[in-house]
Amino acid sequence: MSSTTISPNKKIPSIDELPEKELTQLKKKLEEKEKKNPGSTLTDCPACAVKALAQFYWGIQNPNAGGVPDSLPFNNAELDRVHQVDNMLRQFTPGADTGAGNAQEDPEEMQTRLLTACLESVNHHLNENTAWKARYEALFILQQECFWNCPCGSQQVPPNNPAPDSIGFNNIPILSNGTPDSLEEAMRREFEPIPLNTFHCHICNSTQQRMQSTRIEGSPEYLRIKLSIVNSNGTPNLNPVNLPEVLNLSEYQAVRDDPPPLMYRLSSVLAHGGTHNAGHWVASVRGPQNVFYINDHSVDQRSLLELRANPQVYGGTGMHAVVLMYKRFEKKL
């Protein structure tokens, strides 16, 4: 792993082209710069910080043991390290709240920043990091491919793929308040073909409407789905979308070599209560036998059925699902 510097108003740059010698020199320069001007550089590796927190926590916890897992104290060094890294990342993320000691931390944005930084702060040209990058992509990266279609059935791959790799699906639109909706229907709308320009098809030798479709080329083990809970006019959309226990995305795969069924099981839900710029966040996480409901430092045990509840009610307040994490599994025939 290596450190990197970030220019204001830009996302974390890639340092893939830097050889090991230059990376070492860069790290020394960054450390010297940080001493002269504290807070001006990102001198810690995001992936290392997240890994240290996970190793510390699961080193003292048994995920398969019964009961409710302990929460970490506010003064935990590993947790503080992750927050310090994220505080620096926020300085260079357009639109992020950069206020010191921001009490209204947005965990959805924090999760996005850390997952992105873990990948982009690593020099992927180093042999020891090649396998790491492959494992990361297998865990989180969704690969999609676009196709141009003619009504006659002919298909063409665009010169430049308009669907770049991403950490799952971001801002999936849901129907307006009061209209029944489900995640399955939202995903169906996401994959609906989009009409483009008319063109002359050389297969059927006629002028036709070109349609663009998107299909899943590579599926991650953990599929992150962020729902859009803001209407086009900026008002909150708190429509309680139905969340399925099992999400079947088989029909949206790129059809090559008879791919196996693409099935996901709901693993966790990050929910928000309040307005779109204020409020409170809670999380529900699937355990071996129960669901753990996490509210700040409070951890409660609930039934598996409550993982799908939307909204989730806590203290009389409805918390609406925003970020869903689904884990891929193989369907047993």
Ramachandran quadrant class, 194 (left: phi over 0; alpha: psi -120 to 50; beta: rest): beta
- Tracing tokens 């088989």 back to the chain, one arrives at 250
Largest CA distance in the chain: 70
Whether the bond into 311 is cis, omega within 30 of 0: yes
Please, which residues have CB within 8 angstroms of residue 272's CB and are 6 or more apart in sequence?
108, 229, 279, 280, 281, 319, 320, 322
Q: What domains appear along the chain, each with residue ranges and CATH number?
A: 109-328 (3.90.70.10)
Alpha carbon of 297 to those of 71, 267, 304, 317: distances in Å?
6, 20, 21, 18
The predicted structure's pLDDT at residue 93: 64
The predicted structure's pLDDT at residue 309: 87
Please, which residues have CB within 8 angstroms of residue 70's CB and are 6 or more apart in sequence?
60, 61, 299
130-177 pLDDT, tens digit per residue, is 888 888 889 999 998 888 888 887 877 777 766 778 899 988 999 887
Distance CA 124, CA 132 (A): 8
Q: What is the mean pLDDT of each run of 10 residues along the chain (333 residues)?
A: 35 43 58 57 74 80 69 82 83 57 65 84 74 87 86 79 82 86 94 85 83 88 90 78 94 80 94 77 86 85 86 80 92 53
Map residue 329 onto helix, strand or coil: strand
The predicted structure's pLDDT at residue 32: 66
Helices (H), ranges, the chain: 20-36, 46-60, 77-91, 107-120, 127-140, 183-190
